Structure 1
Amino acid sequence: MSEPLLYALGVVVFLVGLAVSIALHEVGHMVPAKAFGAKVTQYFVGFGRTVWSRRRGETEYGLKAIPLGGFVKIVGMLPPHRGDDPSQVRTSNTGLFTQLVSDARTAEYEHVTPDDEPRLFYKLPWWKKAIVMAGGPVVNLAIAFALFAAIFLSIGAQTLTTTISSVSDCVIPAAEAPRTCTSTDPVAPAKESGLEAGDEIVSFNGEPIDDWSQMQTAIRSNGDSAATIGYVRDGETYETTVNTSVQPRPVGDDPAVTEEVGFLGVAPTAGYERQDLGYVVTTMGDMTVGTVEAIASLPQKMVEVTQSIFGAERADDTPMSPVGASRVAGEMVTIEGTTWTDRVYRIATLLAAVNLFVALFNFIPLLPLDGGHIAGALWEGLRNAIARLRRRPLPGPVDVGRMLPVAYGVGALLLVMGVILILADIINPVRLT
């Protein structure tokens, strides 16, 4: 298959996977809402003009022209302004935001009939509201877990093996890399020893080597001493002895921080090693922590993204829009030397990471995100519990309508962020290559 077709395939598969994830997110809201008796009138994937719709019972199912989101219409999410009677919605006020809230309440109850009143969402117990609103993000978490499990249990996790992928011809100081060798550069110890790409290192100074991390530690701690290396080539076991050299090499992720360590001059081959369910859980836990940290750093990252639109260098760890993520998906499947196993692994893990991000981002306790509704439901439960302890009448449902000005502000901010990210992904995209 040609590179352009592979690129297009990667983009299409990612976008379809993203659309399915969005659709399932909304199913996560709709199913418990219907199970609890709430009236669901619409289930749509996308925004904008309706492309297709079909009514089944009391619910209209459909697709919108812009497949970047979706929604479920649950009747009665906003309580009326006074009491439980929808006819008591306030219709006259002076403030701009107050008028917006009033208009939203009016629209909410425009088509509510007396038969609908027992099924209004705001009348549900607080814990049912929390379950309905948490259903979407929980589905995204389940998708992420299912994708990670499918990949790690079948293909495996990508790990560095003790098989050599390349041998350095010379020793180049870390501060000068990457560059080609010159006549003044010393020959790399691995080259001098006769090691070749494809050799599998099985021992170092008599100690068995099981993984690349162990091999790397052994080389670094060897300094400029002699090393006896056991390796397998074409099914035969050999040994070679060579002195490792001492070179300044980076410590951790910061290339500016170096230390003098032993140097051999070999690079490992990446391979797949099947994992168990515990690995999946651990990986999800680690990625959850990393994703939360990434969300916390979004304000600073958005500044960097905005600067990149005007010519500043764009870091690889800056956030992306679906436009940028689909571009990355296309590049993932066209990298030279990529196998079909690599392609499946990369697209599946990318979709898993996106679902994890969507889930955790939606748990932020601000409207219009799901977390804002969850926070309102939990606050209602807490208020009711306190009232019971104090033997007082229950205060009733929390009026999330009062938070609509915040929802409008957050919604506008998310819209601006989306536009900035799309512009940056077009003008100065993150590139794997």
Structure 2
Amino acid sequence: MTTLMFILGIVVFAVGLLVSIAWHELGHLSTAKLFGIRVPQYMVGFGPTVWSRKKGETEYGIKAIPLGGYIRMIGMFPPDDSGRITARSTSPWRGMIEDARSAAFEELRPGDETRMFYTRKPWKRVIVMFAGPFMNLVLAIGLFLTVLMGFGIQQQTTTVASVSPCVIAQSEHRDSCKKSDPASPAEAAGMKKRDKIVAFDGKPTRDWNTLSDLIRVSAGKTVPIVVERDGKQLTLHAKIATNMVAKKDSGGGYVEGRYVKAGFLGFSAATGVVKQDFGESVTWMTDRVGDAVDSLVALPGKIPALWDAAFGDGPREPDSPMGIVGAARVTGEIATLDIPASQQLAMFVFVLAGFNLSLFLFNMLPLLPLDGGHIAGALWESLRRNVARVLRRPDPGPFDVAKLMPVAYVVAGIFVCFTVLVLIADVVNPVKIS
């Protein structure tokens, strides 16, 4: 049964992956057609075609390898300076440019002269190329909101999990009390396990962050604490101690290894699944986008540890880069967890939302052959033409993105090598969930 559920989890992720890819390419397709660009093909996947059907001037299909997708637009690159396609050069770098330019003019038909991608104004080309990643961003936001507001997320609550018998500085990393340690304010006030703190010093406490902040700024004060116990409310009084506690960042998370002197009550908060309102969801997603950007920037620095995890005896870090195979394994593990089905579904949706957020950020890198590279080329063309107009110089014409194809092949080669490294690590030393 466990093996069956593991396979089911992978299948669910594979379907979600295909939908995400199709959704991305739909953004490119719809805007290209909106601006009158001819699109001969819309394909999900790579390799041999499994199924296809032609509707109008576009062939729609699914290919055997679900690791991406594409639409093919006529005239992605402008012709050379002579206005024609030249024979392939013997220079390998020049040959790359000419191959790319030739591919851009495949299936050119009479009447297509005004329907080619490069003939559209730069702002229209930016929209066409941005539409794909934007669709992934929209899907990520929708999926995150579904989980945050519909299912809820695991977080600390205002319910007491345990009461500390004494005041111990968190920086000391010990659990047992010494005779010299004073009793904790929570213990002295009579707080008990499973008490739910509903108000602190006259202020309602609906979430852990609010309660934690109130405690930290109340050092030395004696405050009333309203708790709910066995269905009834009672008021306790505690003199808040001063202690060394973990430092919090702007998002409410704890900063590892950093401590500050602040108020201390002396209890551990229970965790639970808590639904978020819209404002809390937006704040949470904003923080996650920031984390994702930081992770993308830090990606090159994680390659040595990833190499050691794949080919050496190094551990696979929880925040290690993970590919499609790794994500599929994680969703397979989720399906085998002994948790409610609703939480399994929420975790599935979370993984898919994170995948779409990563697709958005990755594709926005200003490098060919990514969408961001074409956006950067269109913006550069717009800048050149506007500067020429202001200086009353001749129009420099379209920016020839094809000249950057040698760089694009190098970038693509680096991406392929990195993808292979991640794939090996995902197979031999995968990231596992606890």
Normalising by the smaller structure, the TM-score range is 0.7 to 0.9
Deviation per CA, 1:303-322, whole angstroms, max 9, x where unpaired? 32222222222322222101
Distance change in 2, residues 1:8/1:236 (3 Å): farther
Question: Number of residue pairs matched?
Answer: 426
Partner of 2:251: none
Deviation per CA, 1:239-289, whole angstroms, max 9, x where unpaired? 55678777654334444334566352322232323412x444444433333
Whether 2:277 is the aligned partner of 1:271: answer no
Is the Cα contact below 8 Å between 1:159 and 1:273 reproduced in 2? no
Q: Which 10-residue stretch deviates more, 370-379 or 123-132?
A: 123-132
Q: 1:83, 1:56 → 2: CA distance?
A: 35
Deviation at 1:384, TM superposition (A): 2.0
Deviation per CA, 1:24-57, whole angstroms, max 9, x where unpaired? 1011111111222211111111112222222222
Whether 2:233 is the aligned partner of 1:231: answer no
Partner of 2:400: 399
Q: 1:98, 1:208 → 2: CA distance?
A: 69
Partner of 1:202: 198
Distance change in 2, residues 1:231/1:9 (3 Å): farther
Is the Cα contact below 8 Å between 2:163 and 2:192 reproduced in 1? yes
Instruction: Describe the SS at the equivalent of 2:394.
Output: coil
Deviation at 1:144, TM superposition (A): 1.5
Partner of 1:70: 69
Q: 2:371, 2:383 → 1: CA distance?
A: 19
Distance change in 2, residues 1:95/1:185 (3 Å): farther
Partner of 2:294: 293
Whether 2:61 is the aligned partner of 1:59: answer no
Distance change in 2, residues 1:92/1:428 (3 Å): closer
Deviation at 1:206, TM superposition (A): 6.5
Is the Cα contact below 8 Å between 1:228 and 1:241 reproduced in 2? yes
Is the Cα contact below 8 Å between 1:28 and 1:132 reproduced in 2? yes
Partner of 2:38: 39
Q: What is the RMSD computed on CA atoms of the aligned residues?
A: 3.3
Deviation at 1:334, TM superposition (A): 4.5
Is the Cα contact below 8 Å between 1:190 and 1:266 reproduced in 2? no
Distance change in 2, residues 1:19/1:188 (3 Å): farther
Name the aligned partner's letter for residue 347 of structure 2.
R
Structure 1: stretches of 5+ with no match in the other structure: none
Q: 1:162 aligns with which of 136, 158, 165?
A: 158
Partner of 1:148: 144
Q: Which 10-residue stretch deviates more, 257-266 or 66-75?
A: 257-266
Instruction: Describe the SS at the equivalent of 2:59.
Output: strand
Normalising by structure 2, report the TM-score. Answer: 0.85
Distance change in 2, residues 1:196/1:48 (3 Å): farther
Instruction: Describe the SS at the equivalent of 1:398.
Output: coil
Q: 2:97 aligns with which of 101, 107, 114?
A: 101
Deviation per CA, 1:95-127, whole angstroms, max 9, x where unpaired? 211122223323433432333332222222222
Deviation at 1:368, TM superposition (A): 0.2
Map 1:124-135 onto structure 2 (within 5 A). Answer: 124-135=120-131
Deviation at 1:339, TM superposition (A): 2.7
Deviation at 1:405, TM superposition (A): 0.4
Q: 1:124, 1:241 → 2: CA distance?
A: 71
Structure 2: stretches of 5+ with no match in the other structure: 249-253
Q: 1:213, 1:323 → 2: CA distance?
A: 36
Name the aligned partner's letter for residue 265 of structure 1.
F
Q: 2:346, 2:210 → 1: CA distance?
A: 25
Instruction: Describe the SS at the equivalent of 1:114.
Output: coil
Name the aligned partner's letter for residue 292 of structure 1.
V
Q: Which 10-residue stretch deviates more, 8-17 or 304-313?
A: 8-17
Distance change in 2, residues 1:188/1:428 (3 Å): farther
Partner of 1:423: 424
Q: 2:121, 2:214 → 1: CA distance?
A: 61
Deviation at 1:414, TM superposition (A): 0.7
Is the Cα contact below 8 Å between 2:150 and 2:275 reproduced in 1? no
Deviation per CA, 1:118-151, whole angstroms, max 9, x where unpaired? 2222222222211111110111111122223333
Normalising by structure 1, report the TM-score. Answer: 0.85
Q: Which 10-residue stretch deviates more, 203-212 or 32-41?
A: 203-212
Instruction: Describe the SS at the equivalent of 2:40.
Output: strand
Q: 1:178, 1:326 → 2: CA distance?
A: 39
Q: 2:430, 2:111 → 1: CA distance?
A: 53
Deviation per CA, 1:228-247, whole angstroms, max 9, x where unpaired? 65422221224556787776
Q: 1:311, 1:346 → 2: CA distance?
A: 30
Is the Cα contact below 8 Å between 1:126 and 1:380 reproduced in 2? yes
Q: Which 10-residue stretch deviates more, 94-103 or 405-414?
A: 94-103
